[in-house]
Amino acid sequence: MIDDWAAREQIVTAADRLFYGRGVQAVGMDAVRAQAGVSLKRIYALFPSKDDLVVAVLHHRSRRWDAGLAAATATVESPRDKLLAVFDFLADWFVEEDFRGCAFINSFGELGALSPQVAAAAREQKASFQGYVAALVRAAGAPESLAPQLAILAEGAQTTAAIAGTPDAARQARDAAATLIEAALAPARTPA
Amino acid sequence: MIDDWAAREQIVTAADRLFYGRGVQAVGMDAVRAQAGVSLKRIYALFPSKDDLVVAVLHHRSRRWDAGLAAATATVESPRDKLLAVFDFLADWFVEEDFRGCAFINSFGELGALSPQVAAAAREQKASFQGYVAALVRAAGAPESLAPQLAILAEGAQTTAAIAGTPDAARQARDAAATLIEAALAPARTPA
DNA sequence: TAAGATAGAGAACGATGGTTCTCAACGCAA
DNA sequence: TTGCGTTGAGAACCATCGTTCTCTATCTTA
């Protein structure tokens, strides 16, 4: 038998793929069991309810997102380039064949009104992302107000790419971000 | 008895409120019947399936959105101000107490993978909005590339405001839009 | 007024889902 | 080897949902 840690991993990974691909409510726990290869009894021993599993999946995705973002921004040096690398990270993601938008946005729309835990998980992930962007903005020496603007661009790119079914939004958002960054830094370069 | 037109209206309005507030799959047809005050038989005579009703609700929302947007941009003269008025329109929307994000984004996330009709309705609405912004951008004399950038800002503001639970994103997106518009128009003002 | 069509209320039906339970198989300690 | 505890497979259970059907009451029209 596999240990609890590996079982959790398999269950969460399987549930993530299914929930993300079809939506949470469209996936029964039996489908999770089949995909994970773990008995229902075991699943319920590790996750007391489907809602708990959903929250675990979101936390798992949040960690993966953080790691991917850190890796993407680690490839360049300057804070300005790191900010733009965020949009390159999105571009790479949008072309993946199973891309279906942001799981947090999707889950929030589907379950946010029903599950406070899901709503909180989405809120935390977005706040974390905004904090990450804000740190890069500070490092770049740009005014704080730039951070939410860039975060909004990233969010919009995700939904736009998902619904349109094309990755164009990543480049468009990147171009807009470059313009906003330049404008934010310009006054500092040429003070009155 | 009420006529078909009024019945359709009541059903769609009731379903819209319920679907938007709780998510589509969380609302049973019986809840729609109760809220609409129209018998299930009548509902199914007018909408052969729940999926058809969902699509009708989305089309209804699309018309309301178009009208609201047209009204909001009609209050100002210049194309540039009309573009900014889009974000004021969002700001007014975000402070409504039942605001829960964009119904098209939410529906797409919940049902896009299951219902091609729902996916198409979302895609059409977003394309229509992008077209509207593109027309304003053209009228403002700015390069075409500005339009998707502003549209992405608007999308991002909607999801950000919904998940954060605050209307701040409208102002932030508006500020970003003003910067992008200015940057897009600047080269035209000072040609080489 | 009487017959017939129609509509509404809600029961009924079949499917599905989340969750729990049964039971047989297995591993392990004495 | 013999119990005992644990596990997995899946049946079972109960609720809910989309959809249809039944039955009664109402309205129309001649």
The fold of B49-189 is Tetracycline Repressor; domain 2 (1.10.357)
pLDDT tens-digit profile of B173-188? 999 999 999 999 986 4
- Buried b / exposed e over B118-145, threshold 16 CB at 10 Å, is bbebbbebbeebbebbbebbeebebeee
Closest CA to A103 of A48, A7, A10, A27: A27
Say what the pLDDT of residue B187 is: 65
The fold of A50-189 is Tetracycline Repressor; domain 2 (1.10.357)
pLDDT at residue A192 is higher than 70: no
Q: What are the sequence ranges of the domains in chain A?
A: 1-48, 50-189
CB proximity list for A24: less than 8 A, separation 6 or greater = A54, A107, A110, A111
DSSP assigned state of B149 = H
pLDDT tens-digit profile of A35-59? 999 999 999 999 999 999 999 999 9
The fold of A1-48 is Arc Repressor Mutant, subunit A (1.10.10)
pLDDT tens-digit profile of B55-79? 999 999 999 999 999 999 999 999 9
Please name the residues between 4 and 43 in chain A that touch chain B, using a CB distance below 8 Å.
Answer: 21-23, 25-26
What's the gap in Å between the CA of B54 and the closest CA on chain A?
14
CB atoms within 10 A of CB A39: 11
Q: How confident is the model at residue A155 (pLDDT cuts 50, 70, 90)?
A: very high
Could you say which of B22, B148, B165 has the minimum Cβ distance to residue A113?
B22
Query: A112 and B110 in contact (C-beta within 8 Å)?
Result: no
Q: What is the mean pLDDT of residues A75-94?
A: 96
Say what the pLDDT of residue A22 is: 97
List bases in chain C with any atom under 7 Å of a protein Cβ. Answer: 7-11, 16-22
A vs B: CB pairs below 8 A: 164
**Distance in angstroms (rounded) separating the CA atoms of residues B5 and B17:** 18
Q: What is the mean pLDDT of residues B37-44?
A: 94
Interface-testing mutation among A25, A100, A105, A171, with chain B (most B C-beta atoms within 10 A)? A105
B142 shares contact with chain A (CB less than 8 Å): no
pLDDT tens-digit profile of B98-130? 999 999 999 999 999 999 999 999 999 999 999
Say what the pLDDT of residue B186 is: 80
Q: What is the mean pLDDT of residues A135-144?
A: 96
Are the Cβ atoms of B152 and A169 closer than 8 angstroms?
A: yes
Portion of chain B with pLDDT greater than 90, in percent: 93
Give how far Cα B136 sits from Cα of A169, B180, B187, Å: 19, 14, 18
Say what the pLDDT of residue A3 is: 80
